[in-house]
Amino acid sequence: MLTFSHTWLLMLIPLPWLLRRWLPAHHERKAAVRVPFMQQLSQLAGIQPGSAKTVARRPVSQWLVLSLAWLLVVVALARPQWLEDPVIKELPMRDLMVAVDLSGSMEAQDFTDSEGNIVDRLSAVKQVLDAFFARRDGDRVGLILFGSAAFVQVPFTDDLEVVRELLEEAQVRMLGPRTMLGDAMGLAINQFERSEVEDRVLIVLTDGNDTGSLVPPERAAEIARDNSVVVHTIAIGDPTSTGEQALDEKTLEKISTTTGGGYFHANDRVELEAIYDYLDEINPRQVDTQSYRPLTDLYYLPLAASMLLTLLYIMYLELRLRYFGRKLDQAAAPEQAS
């Protein structure tokens, strides 16, 4: 639909006609010789004297071109715009960050994939998370990988295909053999500080315990709570394991309790899948809709048409002048020859 941003300017269209109609004509005074016997001379010469006043009249074509050019300029000034059909855009109302442990213990082959084959823990996690991400259409999702250091693999985005592809590229020990859980949480909180939505969820998946983060997990949980970030913790693997990679369920439970999240433990892929299904239920897809109608400016079309029309008319006058000039030259040539 065609609309104008400054419709009132269309009232200027009749302005030239009004000025020509109501303003007085141009008067030019010149010195002249008064001849007291002009009447007698005119009678002897057989000439009827007339008024000295002359009015130059413009050709009709010139008035038409000027009027049309003015009309196009005024239309351009009114800023014509094409109002397109309404576009409905979905706006995410939740930011969801997933932190995945890539420490050395994630290569333990004590899980099965969807076909029943024995796989390492990370491969099983990838399968479950891939299905989980596929159901999060409408959310902004981010991905953090951590080991001896934490790294933002994917900042918040609504392009879930990118998240799934970059998750698939993750490898065990690619960030070192240790588990910097607290640093991963701190990095996630830093990402949430740029978030403009109120619903903020962090899902942390690990099979070990924190091994020397600059920010202790308990302190990171308090900061998350103060920033309205709900943290769900998921522990996988054997809870009876010992050593540096022993599963610290107590800390994971405290993190979830502090932030208002939930603590879960999965011994196999089926349990892990059930946990993410549950998280999917308690954190349903939330979107807001925004409707708008795109506007396309068209002012340049009448402006260009006005300039082109004026240019063509000037070219026409120039060619016409040259044509009649040649005609006069041709007519004068025989007289000069005689």
Q: Do 205 and 298 sit in the same domain of this protein? A: no
Note whether residue 48 is domain-resident.
no
Digit-coded pLDDT (tens) for 166-206: 999 999 888 888 888 999 999 999 999 888 788 889 999 98
pLDDT of res. 279 = 78
Does residue 96 fall inside a structural domain?
A: yes
If asked whether residues 311 and 248 sit together in one domain, one would say: no
Q: Are 157 and 131 in the same domain?
A: yes
230 & 319 share domain = no
| Domain identity same for 6 and 75 | yes
122 & 107 share domain: yes
285 lies in the same domain as 299 = no
pTM equals: 0.61
Q: Which two tokens stand for residue 79?
A: 């800023």
Q: Say yes or no: 148 and 201 in one domain.
A: yes
Number of domains comprising the chain: 2
Long-range Cβ pairs for the range 155-161 (8 Å, 24+) = 155/191, 156/95, 156/97, 156/191, 156/194, 156/195, 158/92, 160/133, 160/134, 160/136
CA distances (Å), 234 to each of 98, 139, 164, 292, in order? 11, 20, 19, 41
Show the low-confidence residues of the chain (pLDDT under 50): none
Beta strands in the chain (DSSP E): 2-4, 80-83, 87-92, 94-101, 111-112, 118-119, 140-146, 150-157, 199-206, 229-236, 263-266, 287-292, 295-297
Res 125: pLDDT: 86
pLDDT in tens, 201-238: 999 998 777 888 888 999 999 999 999 999 999 888 76
User: Rounded to whole angstroms, what are the CA distances from 323 to 36, 46, 65, 327, 328?
Assistant: 44, 36, 21, 6, 9
In a domain, 30, yes or no: no
Encode pLDDT of 113-125 as tens digits.
Answer: 777 788 888 888 8
Residue 252 to residues 28, 188, 258: CA-CA distances in angstroms?
Answer: 99, 16, 10
| Closest of 165, 172, 196, 152 to residue 106, by C-alpha | 172
- CATH classification of the domain holding 239: 3.40.50.410
Spatial distance between the Cα atoms of 222 and 189, rounded to a whole number of angstroms = 11
What domain range includes position 98?
Answer: 89-290
Dihedral, 278, 279, 281, 282 alpha carbons, nearest 10: 120
pLDDT at residue 288, as a whole number: 62
Residue 231 phi/psi, 5-degree rounding, is: -115, 120
Task: Give residue 332's pLDDT.
Answer: 62
